[in-house]
Amino acid sequence: MPLVIERKPLTKLEKTWLPQIIGGLKTTFGYLRKESVTLQYPEERPVIPENYRGVPTLVKDPNGRVKCVSCQLCEFVCPPRAITIDPGEIPEASEQAHVEKAPREFEIDMLRCIYCGLCQEVCPEEAIFLQNVYSVTGTTREEFKYKKEKLLELGGPLPDRHFKWDKKKAAAESGNGGH
């Protein structure tokens, strides 16, 4: 049963415009007493939910290690191709040398990034996270090309849920290493 739009002719009173003017003013003045819904933006900041998709950053585990192993999955999945990774080895002197790889350079072009979050979804190491930063500023194109250091600084350490390297080390010591 369809619903047809009613079209009532205006009454004599409504044709005088007065009920509309009075009703409109009533609505307007009614809002004077209600709580304001606006924010005084730069001073007051909106509450950002936890899963907000802001600036993508690289994170470290609580031991200060870079979690990214430069598997390049994010580079391949990125729809606007904003991520460029130069894979490299972990330096010899490091404790984790020859265990895993690490990016020699990791670059995200924030002007290309569309903040879709696919990189975070595909990352098997949980190394790339979209933070709740929603305003990125700069004056030149070069400034928007975030390098590894900047990304790590923005990301900071993240409480790791699984301490992957410790687990691997324990597995190797007990003879269960390898997959």
Partner 1 sequence: MNPPSETGSPSPNPAESPRYRTAGYDSDAQLLEVSLGPQHPSTHGVFRMNVALDGEDVVKLKPVFGYLHRNHEQIAEQVSYLGSMPYTDRLDYFCSLSNNWAYAAAVEKLAGIDVPERAEYIRVITSELTRLVNHTSFLGFMLSDMGAWGTVLMYAFREREKILDLFESLTGSRMMGNYMRFGGCRCDLPPGWLEQARKVVDGYPAFLDEMESLIATNEIVISRTQRIGRLPADKAVNGSMTGPCLRASGVNYDIRKVDRYGIYDRFEFRVPLGDHGDCYDRLMIRFLEMRETLKILRPALRDIPEGPVMDPKARQRNLRPPEGEAYARVEAPKGELGFYLISDASDKPYRYRVRPPSLINLTLLEDLCLGEKIADVMVILGTIDIVLGEVDR
Q: Which residues bind partner 1 (CB under 8 A)?
A: 1-5, 7-8, 10, 14-15, 17, 19-20, 23-24, 27-28, 37, 49, 51-53, 77, 79, 114-118, 121-122, 130
CA distance 58 to 15: 65
Shortest separation between residue 39's beta carbon and partner 1, angstroms: 11
Pair 161, 66: CB distance under 8 Å:
no
Q: What is the SS3 assignment for 149? A: helix
Q: Which CB, 87 or 117, lies closer to partner 1?
A: 117
Shortest separation between residue 4's beta carbon and partner 1, angstroms: 5
Both tokens assigned to 144: 């928007």
Q: Which CB, 90 or 116, lies closer to partner 1?
A: 116
Q: Taking every pair of C-alpha atoms in the chain, what is the biggest distance, in angstroms?
A: 93
Q: What is the SS3 assignment for 79? A: coil
Q: Which CB, 117 or 157, lies closer to partner 1?
A: 117
Q: Which CB, 4 or 32, lies closer to partner 1?
A: 4
- In the chain the first and final C-alpha atoms are separated, in Å, by 63
Q: Which CB, 8 or 179, lies closer to partner 1?
A: 8
CA distance 2 to 46: 43
CA distance 162 to 166: 9
Both tokens assigned to 109: 């072009």
